[in-house]
Amino acid sequence: MANPTARSFLQVAATEEVASPLRVVQIEGLAILKIIKHCKEFSPALVTGQLLGLDVGSVLEVTNCFPFPIREEDEENEAEGANYQLDMMKCLREVNVDNNTVGWYQSTLLGSFQTVELIETFMNYQENIRRCVCIIYDPSRSTQGVLALKALKLSDSFMDLYRNNNFTGEKLREKNLSWVDIFEEIPIKVSNSALISAFMTDLEGDAPVTQCDYDRLQLSTNPFMERNMDFLIECMDDLSMEQQKFQFYYRSLSRQQAQQQAWLQKRRAENASRKAAGEEPLPEEDPSNPVFKPVPEPSRLDSFLITNQIANYCNQINGVAGQNFSKLYLMKALHEN
Amino acid sequence: MASRFWTSQGGSDSEEEESDYDEEIENGAPVDPATQAAGSRYLKENPSDSDDSGDQKRVVRSAKDKRFEEMSATVDQMKNAMKINDWVSLQESFDKMNKQLEKVMRLTESEKAPNLYIKALVMLEDFLSQALANKDAKKKMSSSNAKALNSMKQKLKKNNKQYEDLISRYREKPESEEERDEDEDEDEETDSEIEEDPTKIEFKDSEDEDDEKGGDSQDEDDGEWEKKMSKREKLMDKQFKNPSEVTWDTVNKKFKEVVAARGRRGTGRFEQVEQLAFLTKVAKTPAQKIEILFSVVSAQFDVNPGLNGHMPINVWKKCVQNMFVILDILIQYPNIVVDDMVESDENETQKGPDYNGTIQVWGNLVAFVERLDAEFFKSLQCIDPHTREYVERLRDEPLFSVLAQNVQDYLERVSDFKAAAKVALKRIELIYYKPQEVYDAMRKLAEQTGDRDNGEAGEEHKVVEESRGPSPFIVTPELVPRKPTFPENSRTLMDCLVSLIYKYGDERTKARAMLCDIYHHAILDEFSTSRDLLLMSHLQDSIQHMDISTQILFNRAMAQLGLCAFRVGLITEGHGCLSELYSGGRVKELLAQGVSQSRYHEKTPEQERIERRRQMPYHMHINLELLEAVHLICAMLLEVPNIAANTHDPKRKVISKTFRRLLEMSERQTFTGPPENVRDHIMAATRALSKGDFEKAFDVITSLDAWKLFRNRDNVLEMLKAKIKEEALRTYLFTYSSSYDALSLDQLIKMFDLSDAQIHSIVSKMMISEELYASWDQPTQCIVFHDVEHTRLQALAFQLTEKLSVLAESNERATEARIGGGGLDLPPRRRDNQDYNAVGGRWQESFSFTQGRQGGGSGRTGYGAGGGRPLALGQAAGGGYSRDRTGQSRGTGAGYPGTRYQDAAYGGGSGRSAYQSGSSVRGSQMDISNRMVSLNRGFRS
């Protein structure tokens, strides 16, 4: 952090020509702490905030952040929120902090973040900032002794599709896009200036174990599992709904096809008789006929998101269960000793 | 006034006497011995002194008779005058007759003119119109004669006005009048005897109309003949005045004419029947007779115009007789072929009885039989079932069944098996609902009435024939039996009819026959047979697409099946059959045993009328009270332990929603009085049972009236008592197991009055199915309870598995649709509805609720929902049965994988996913009865 601006400018100049893919998100310790503080204070309510920083080649540096006030469900507040954001940026520029928006952060509850809103917000950001990330912090998981921090971005192919709003089965197949390919997770690297590192080392006591490590040993995981189960069940319901929608679509499609066939057959018979009578055959397509109006295919986006969500929960359960088992075995061993 | 009458009477008396002699002198002809009383009197009088005759008369005859005699003599005189076209003397006689009438009226003290008089008037009128029509003859008349004719015309017109209605009535039905005449006075016999002597007319040589020399008797007969005709139809008399002139052509022409008049304005329906019936008598060839008879039958069907009313019963009976005659002819002349497909040749019926080739006649026997059946059915619908009339009407059933039997025999003989199957179905529909006792009674009745009727009906038949005038040209002996023959056992009859239908019937006939068969088996307590029939036929899948009356039949069969299952002690099956009927609260409608009023939407009168037309006649009803009792008891026996087992989560596993709703309602009551109706009884029993008090529960249930409707009442109640004890034990254990650490077997034996083996098996079953967390302590004969509760996490995991199984299943179906799996011939929508109904019922209260609402919505169109429900029922029941069967065949523990496989096979032909099998393993750990319940709900089959 000694002279980040100079380096970053150089890098920016270099990468302007070849847009190298984003590889790492590098976050300042300060920013992380601010995020954690904000999210934890308001938990279990969900909060968001702005990320500020620099885009340097394949590395996105997040150097600072500020929280958004909790939004109330009002249209006036929308404007207020935007104003707040601008004011905040102005103030930060005045104190000479990085005021380049690179994304936003938000808190989540047990990883239930894969929603349409997230994607919409992301697309909004994406319009203005070519490279942006979303950092997601899960305070509830962090109580388990893990730093549940994630940096996400949408995959390019997905964004293409989303812009065209084209989530039919055919397009998805064309792009070879499955539910796994919606989000890309980017590794996070925490960087601190040398001064801070030194200070921290100085602060650190002699004890080799931290509070975080104690948390990790906590045995009661039931509430966490239960919550996850609840969410999973909800997801299942949602998925069934989606499936139903799709089935309905499929049925109406097949019905329509049958109708079309019937119509075509009739028309052909008519044409044959007309031909016999020496008249002009009627066209075999009739766009005005309601039979040929295409049935709108339901978007697969929702089901993709739900699937993502389910995968997320499953991973969490897996992780927690695995940890729990090892903890239990440890306990057993301790008891035997 | 009186004095004048008296004098005039005296005057006319002498006058009359005089004229009598005049007549005799005038006639001077030998009197035919066949002419009766009056004639013979004259015969006797002829040689004797004229003075004597007067004395003799006074001595022998009563005053009334005398007057009638006088009158009839005048009438005879008039007839003679008519023959010679002598209007002068006719006028005189007419005046005289009117005077005589006054006397007669005073004597008989009746307001009504005697029939003799009316008859004469009619005759005169006809003759007059005839004379007027004949312009040439009129011109030729002498001046005095013509004058008399004119004055006669006026007089008659004036006179007839007074008796207008009598005349018209007489014209309408001369027969009945005649019959009464016969009773009224012997003089009348003159007419009727002549009529009864038609052979004479037939074999008489043709003679000129106005030939008087042919002899008195000839004239008399001719006159009678003419009169007869004129009574019937003015138009007709001319053509058929002389029997020998009747040819095929004239009959055919007349026939065409009458048929063409059908349906026109002003054509009396009864009249047409009469005309046609007359034509059958003069038909020249058997084929023609058949043709006309067909028209008679259809005209008889026309007699009743509306759709709502039924055909008059006497017409119906006549119609059946006509059908018999048709069959007689058909059997007598096997070369006559009845067909409604071929437009037969115009002159086909001209071919006489000795014609060798086939004669095609247009007609459809089956349609007639079906129509007759429909009319019979309708009449039973209309007649108040609590009257004697209804019973009388029911007695006609054997008559119809013998007709159907004959038609069927005939059709089989001409190897028209398709039609025979249809008729066989009609016969089945007459007997399928009769238990053996009723069947026996019917058989006995048929035999008795058959014996009596055979004589009686035969006579009646003859009388009918005779009273219609001359006997027919085509005389048909009675070839077909008029007496029904029923086999000893109703089952035998059903079997033979049903097998015929299965062989030759079309889809609908087969389906209906199958349903009747199922119903009948169920009545005979053969549950497994009828269940297998139902499942093998897959009727529950396709019943949706059948017509409404078949759907009703299906519902009836299901109801009967449910009752049967209950009688043989299969509670779960019984409940499966009945619950769907009761789910909509429209049992009456579904069984067509009454119109239920809906609060939510008014029916249009049109709908209501249609619905009324579908109603079952009273004697075919399934007792609703009994049905409800059985349904609720089944539900109670299943639900009470179920509720006790799931106290924490009562919404989770609902077996009978109807029952739950009733229970809620009764629990909400602040004060429960002594039970009044069926529901109250069951609710009282439920309350007792949920406390484990089986004795009280049983007492309350036994006090129901409906039990007397069961044949083997004691056995059923015995069975019921055993079931109640078992369920009471289960309920007790569910409810109070948490209060015990251990419970001894002896204690339970004492409490529930069950043998230790029974208790042992029940408790063990509960343990195995993990309903009861306990174990046996063999040495002390105790049940030791474990305290096991599901953690929330476990509960959630269960819930999740269930969700997953739904998801997996619907996924599977999607693939199935993609690759074209087995069950696609059903419309997809319905399948899905069904699936969700069955699967969703377990945990998604709201979901199945919307399903129910949907059903209600489609119910607006009439029976749409009515059909929908039974389908669901069928499927649920079907699933239950299939599983039950596998359970039986495989034993409890041995074949879990096999059972599961079977389930999958029933489920639609494709395998289950891992999730599915997981839960089915769970399910299969339960014992058979419980497996049925849980799987019923857990899987869609």
Domain boundaries, chain B: 63-171, 247-450, 506-596+603-621, 625-785
Q: pLDDT tens digits for B446-456?
A: 777 655 544 44
> Coil, strand or helix: which one is A152?
strand
- What DSSP line would sit under A247-316, residue for residue? HHHHHHHHHHHHHHHHHHHHHHHHHHHHHHTTPPPPPS--TTSGGGSPPPPPPSHHHHHHHHHHHHHHHH
Tokens at B755, concatenated? 């043998």
Which one-letter amino acid corresponds to residue B329?
I
Q: With an 8 Å Cβ cutoff, are B810 and A247 in contact?
A: yes
Bridge partners (DSSP) listed for residue A48: A106
- CB contacts of B815 in chain A (<8 Å) are none
- CB contacts of B813 in chain A (<8 Å) are 247
Nearest to A101 by CA among A57, A134, A52: A52
Residue B584 has pLDDT above 80, yes or no: no
Residue B396 has pLDDT above 60, yes or no: yes
> Coil, strand or helix: which one is B362?
strand
Residue B378 has pLDDT above 70, yes or no: yes
Q: pLDDT tens digits for B495-532?
A: 888 888 888 888 888 888 888 999 999 888 888 888 88
Looking at residue A100, its pLDDT comes to: 83
Among residues of chain B, what percentage have pLDDT more than 70?
Answer: 60
Strands of B195-335 (E only): list them: none
Q: Is B602 in contact with B891 (CB distance < 8 Å)?
A: no
Q: With an 8 Å Cβ cutoff, are A239 and B800 in contact?
A: no
Q: Is B116 in contact with B71 (CB distance < 8 Å)?
A: yes
pLDDT bucket at A286, cuts 50 / 70 / 90: low
Among all residues of chain A, which has the CA nearest to that of B824?
A251
- In Å, how far is B536's CA from the nearest CA of chain A? 29
> Coil, strand or helix: which one is B27?
helix
Q: Encode burial over A11-34: b for 16+ CB neighbours within 10 A, e otherwise.
A: beeeeeeeeeebebbbbbebbbeb
What distance in Å separates the CA atoms of residue B336 and residue B476, rounded to the nearest whole number?
14
Q: Is A128 in contact with A157 (CB distance < 8 Å)?
A: no
Q: Is B170 in contact with B115 (CB distance < 8 Å)?
A: yes
Choose between B716 and B467: higher pLDDT: B716
Q: Give chain B's contact residues with A (Cβ, < 8 Å).
A: 791-793, 796-797, 799-800, 803-804, 806-807, 810-811, 813-814, 817, 828-829, 832
Decide the pairing of beta strands A101-107 and A133-137.
parallel
Mean pLDDT of chain B: 68
- CB contacts of B799 in chain A (<8 Å) are 229, 233
What distance in Å separates the CA atoms of residue A85 and residue A125, rounded to the nearest whole number?
14
pLDDT bucket at B261, cuts 50 / 70 / 90: low
Choose between B864 and A208: higher pLDDT: A208
Looking at residue A141, its pLDDT comes to: 77
> Coil, strand or helix: which one is B123?
helix
Among residues of chain B, what percentage have pLDDT more than 90?
Answer: 1
Choose between B164 and A16: higher pLDDT: B164
Q: Is B596 in contact with B589 (CB distance < 8 Å)?
A: yes
pLDDT bucket at B136, cuts 50 / 70 / 90: low
Q: Is the ipTM of this complex over 0.95?
A: no
Nearest to B394 by CA among B402, B405, B383: B383
What distance in Å separates the CA atoms of residue B926 and residue B932, rounded to the nearest whole number?
9
Burial of B464 (0-12, 13-18, 19+ CB in 10 A): middle
pLDDT bucket at B212, cuts 50 / 70 / 90: very low
- CB contacts of A307 in chain B (<8 Å) are none
What distance in Å separates the CA atoms of residue B399 and residue B421, rounded to the nearest whole number?
19
Bridge partners (DSSP) listed for residue A190: A27
Most confident of A135-149, B322-336, B409-423: B409-423
Choose between B103 and B799: higher pLDDT: B799
* A225, A229, A236: residue with CB nearest B807: A236
Instruction: Give the containing element (helix H, strand E) for A234.
Output: helix A222-276
How many residue contacts between A and B have a Cβ separation below 8 Å?
45
Looking at residue B659, its pLDDT comes to: 87
- In Å, how far is B545's CA from the nearest CA of chain A? 19
Q: With an 8 Å Cβ cutoff, are B797 and A232 in contact?
A: no
Task: Bin B909: left if φ > 0, else alpha if -120 < ψ < 50, else beta.
Answer: left
What distance in Å separates the CA atoms of residue B560 and residue B574, rounded to the nearest whole number?
9
Bridge partners (DSSP) listed for residue A134: A104, A152
Tokens at B438, concatenated? 């009723």
**How many Cβ atoms are within 10 Å of B600's Cβ, its own excluded?**
7
Residue B29 has pLDDT above 60, yes or no: no
Q: Degrees (nearest 5) of the Cα angle B98, B100, B103?
A: 120
Tokens at B206, concatenated? 């043709």
* B797, B800, B828: residue with CB nearest A236: B800
pLDDT bucket at B906, cuts 50 / 70 / 90: very low
Choose between A223 and B34: higher pLDDT: A223
Q: Degrees (nearest 5) of the Cα angle B927, B930, B932?
A: 105
3-state DSSP percent of chain B in helix, strand and coil, to 5: 75, 0, 25
Among all residues of chain A, which has the CA nearest to that of B829?
A251
Residue B489 has pLDDT above 70, yes or no: yes
- In Å, how far is B927's CA from the nearest CA of chain A? 29
Between helix B365-382 and helix B605-614 the angle, nearest 10°, is: 110
Q: Degrees (nearest 5) of the Cα angle B573, B576, B582?
A: 140
> Coil, strand or helix: which one is A66?
strand
Any idea which of A61-75, A264-278, B577-591, B886-900 has the lowest mean pLDDT?
Answer: B886-900
Looking at residue B111, its pLDDT comes to: 62
pLDDT bucket at B484, cuts 50 / 70 / 90: low
What distance in Å separates the CA atoms of residue B394 and residue B398, rounded to the nearest whole number?
9
Looking at residue B656, its pLDDT comes to: 83
The answer to whether the bond into A294 is cis (omega within 30° of 0) is no
Burial of B631 (0-12, 13-18, 19+ CB in 10 A): buried
Looking at residue B269, its pLDDT comes to: 65
What's CA B387's distance to the chain center, in Å? 17
Choose between B626 and B33: higher pLDDT: B626
Which one-letter amino acid corresponds to residue B825?
D
Any idea which of A84-88, A139-143, A195-199, B533-537 has the lowest mean pLDDT?
Answer: A139-143
Tokens at A68, concatenated? 């958004």
Tokens at A95, concatenated? 């104190």
Q: A60 — phi, psi (to 5°)?
A: -105, 120
Q: pLDDT tens digits for B62-116?
A: 666 777 777 788 888 878 877 777 777 777 887 887 777 777 777 666 666 677 7
- CB contacts of B804 in chain A (<8 Å) are 236
Average pLDDT over residues A85-104: 84
What distance in Å separates the CA atoms of residue B575 and residue B571, rounded to the nearest whole number?
6
Any idea which of A111-115, B19-23, B413-417, B427-431 has the lowest mean pLDDT?
Answer: B19-23
> Coil, strand or helix: which one is B326?
helix
Tokens at B888, concatenated? 């039986």
Looking at residue B789, its pLDDT comes to: 67
Using a CB–CB cutoff of 8 Å, tell me whether A230 touches chain B. Answer: yes
**How many Cβ atoms are within 10 Å of B519's Cβ, its own excluded?**
25
Looking at residue B244, its pLDDT comes to: 56
Show Cβ contacts of residue B642 under 8 Å, excluding neighbours closer than 6 positions.
B653, B655, B933
Looking at residue B357, its pLDDT comes to: 66
Any idea which of B187-191, B237-241, B563-567 has the lowest mean pLDDT?
Answer: B187-191
From the candidates A220, A236, A257, A324, which should be mutated to test the interface with B, based on the most B CB atoms within 10 A? A236
Nearest to B924 by CA among B940, B906, B903: B903
Residue B922 has pLDDT above 50, yes or no: no
> Coil, strand or helix: which one is B353?
coil
Among all residues of chain A, which has the CA nearest to that of B812?
A243
Q: To which residue do tokens 């009023």 refer?
A: B597
DSSP B604: P
Instruction: Give the containing element (helix H, strand E) for B227.
Output: helix B216-232
* B793, B810, B811: residue with CB nearest A222: B793
Any idea which of B102-116, B594-608, B861-875 has the lowest mean pLDDT?
Answer: B861-875
Residue B819 has pLDDT above 80, yes or no: no
Looking at residue B108, its pLDDT comes to: 67
Sign of the C-alpha dihedral computed for residues B652, B655, B657 and B663 taken in this order: negative
Looking at residue A73, its pLDDT comes to: 60
